[in-house]
Amino acid sequence: MSAQIISGKDIAADIRSELSGEVAKLVAETGVTPGLATVLVGENPASQMYVGMKNKAAAAMGIYSRQITLPIDTSQDELLGVVAGLNADPAIHGILVQLPVPDHIDEGLVIESIDPLKDVDGFHPMSVGRLATDSGEFFAPCTPAGVVEMLVRSGHDPAGKHVVVVGRSNIVGRPLASLLIRKAPGGNATVTVCHSRTPDLGAVTRTADILVVAMGRPEMVTADMVTPGTVVIDVGTNRVDDPDSEKGYRVCGDVLFDEVEKIAGAISPVPGGVGPMTITMLLSNTVKSARLATAR
Ligand code: NDP
C-alpha cells in the first residue's frame, strides 16, 4: 500500500490563507501592517531567487516587504549600520539577512546585531537559547517549525512518539530536536538525533515512529532503513545530474522516495514538501512579531 503524501505545498497554502486573514484583522484593528525587510549582500543567484520568493509571498498576503540589495564589497560596518537602521524602524517587524554573507563579513556578528524582537529567522543566540530552554517569547527557525506544522496538520502529532532526526545542523536538526522535546503543542516527543558519526544509521532509523531526514545526501535513506508504517519527512533538497531532464538535473530529497513511499505510513515529497513550508513560517513569524509589537 502506498503512503499518505504529506504535501507541504497544500499545508503551506492553508497557512498562507489563514495568515492573510490575520494580517487583514491586524490592519483593521490596530492600523499596523506587518513589515519584513530582507537584506542581500552580493548577487548570488540562489540567494537572489530565495529573497525574491520571500518578498513575493509576503506581498501576496498583505505584508509590507522591503528588499535591500547591497553590493558584494559592502563592508561589515556598513551592513551592521543597515541592520541598526532596520532595528530602529517601526514599520519593520522582521529582519532577514540572507545567508551566506560574503567571506569578509562575520556572519555571527551580523546575526547578533539583529534585534531579537525582529529575529524572524530565529538564528539569534537569544532566540536559540529561549528555544533550547523553552522559555519566553521567541521565533522558531523556519524550516524546523515548518516540519512540526506539517506533522501536526497532517494528523501525525509528535507527542508521545519516538522521532528520529538525521542531521544536527544549527538550522535544521538541532532546533528541530529542541522544538520536538518542548512541553508544548507540537512537542512532547522522545527524540533521537543522528549524525555522520552515528555508527549504524539504519539500526536507529528503523526504531522511529517519525523519521525526519536533513542530511544533504541525495536519496541516501532507502527502504531497508525504514520500518513499515513510519511517518517520513524529507528535508533534503539536492540537485542531481539527470541527462533525461530538459534542465540536465532534477531536484530530490535525502530519501529514496519511490522505494520508501511503498512502505512508509506517510511521506513528504521533494519538491513540494518542506520547501514551501520554510517561507510560510517566515511569514508567520513576521505576523507574530507585528502582533507582539502592537501589544507592547
Ligand atoms: P548540513 O550539511 O549543515 O548538515 C547535515 C547533517 O547531516 C550534519 O549534521 C551531518 O552530520 C549529517 N550527515 C551527513 N551525512 C551523514 C551520514 N552519512 N549519516 C548520518 N548523518 C549524516 O545541512 P543542513 O542541515 O543545512 O541541510 C540538510 C539538507 O536539508 C540539505 O539537503 C539542505 O539543502 C536541506 N534544507 C532544506 C531546506 C528547505 O527549506 N527545504 C532548508 C534547509 C536545508 P555531521 O554533523 O556529523 O557532519
Residues 173 and 271 in one domain: yes
3-state SS class at 251 = strand
Give mean pLDDT, residues 37-53: 93
37 lines ligand 1 (CB under 6 A): no
CA distance 146 to 11: 10
Residues 160 and 47 in one domain: no
Question: For the segment 181-223, what is each residue's pLDDT rounded down to a tens digit?
Answer: 999 999 999 999 999 999 999 999 999 999 999 999 999 999 9
216 lines ligand 1 (CB under 6 A): yes
**Confidence (pLDDT) at 175:** 98
pLDDT band of 11, cuts 50, 70, 90:
very high
Question: Does residue 19 belong to any structural domain of this protein?
Answer: no
CA distance 291 to 93: 9
**Confidence (pLDDT) at 126:** 98
CA distance 287 to 293: 10
| d(CA 176, ligand 1 centre) in Å | 12
Question: Does residue 20 belong to any structural domain of this protein?
Answer: no
Residues 79 and 160 in one domain: no
Directed axis angle between helix 173-180 and helix 125-133, to 10°? 40
Question: Does residue 146 belong to any structural domain of this protein?
Answer: yes
Question: Does residue 18 belong to any structural domain of this protein?
Answer: no
Question: For the segment 82-138, what is each residue's pLDDT rounded down to a tens digit?
Answer: 999 999 999 999 999 999 999 999 999 999 999 999 999 999 999 999 999 999 999
Residues 166 and 53 in one domain: no
Residues 159 and 267 in one domain: yes
271 lines ligand 1 (CB under 6 A): no
237 lines ligand 1 (CB under 6 A): yes
Give the whole-number percent of the chain exceeding pLDDT 70.
Answer: 100
CA distance 98 to 158: 30
Assign residue 107 the CATH number of its domain.
3.40.50.10860
**Confidence (pLDDT) at 90:** 97
Look at residue 1 and tell me whether its pLDDT is greater than 80. no
pLDDT band of 74, cuts 50, 70, 90:
very high
| d(CA 40, ligand 1 centre) in Å | 23
Question: Does residue 5 belong to any structural domain of this protein?
Answer: no
Assign residue 188 the CATH number of its domain.
3.40.50.720
Q: Structure pTM?
A: 0.97
Cell matching residue 120: 524572524
Residues 269 and 207 in one domain: yes
Residues 72 and 191 in one domain: no
166 lines ligand 1 (CB under 6 A): yes
- 118, 119, 121, 234: the catalytic one is 121
Beta bridge partners of 213: 166, 234
Neighbours of 71 (CB within 10 A): 10
Question: Does residue 67 belong to any structural domain of this protein?
Answer: yes
Per the structure, the count of domains in the chain is: 2
| d(CA 169, ligand 1 centre) in Å | 6
Neighbours of 271 (CB within 10 A): 14
Residues 68 and 160 in one domain: no
3-state SS class at 87 = helix
Residues 86 and 211 in one domain: no
Residues 42 and 93 in one domain: yes
**Confidence (pLDDT) at 296:** 85
CA distance 221 to 253: 9
3-state SS class at 140 = coil
Q: What residue numbers bound the domain in which 212 lies? A: 142-276
| d(CA 257, ligand 1 centre) in Å | 17
Question: For the segment 151-186, what is each residue's pLDDT rounded down to a tens digit?
Answer: 999 999 999 999 999 999 999 999 999 999 999 999
**Confidence (pLDDT) at 2:** 86
Give mean pLDDT, residues 62-78: 97
CA distance 158 to 188: 7
Look at residue 77 and tell me whether its pLDDT is greater than 90. yes
Neighbours of 122 (CB within 10 A): 24
Directed axis angle between helix 8-30 and helix 142-153, to 10°? 110
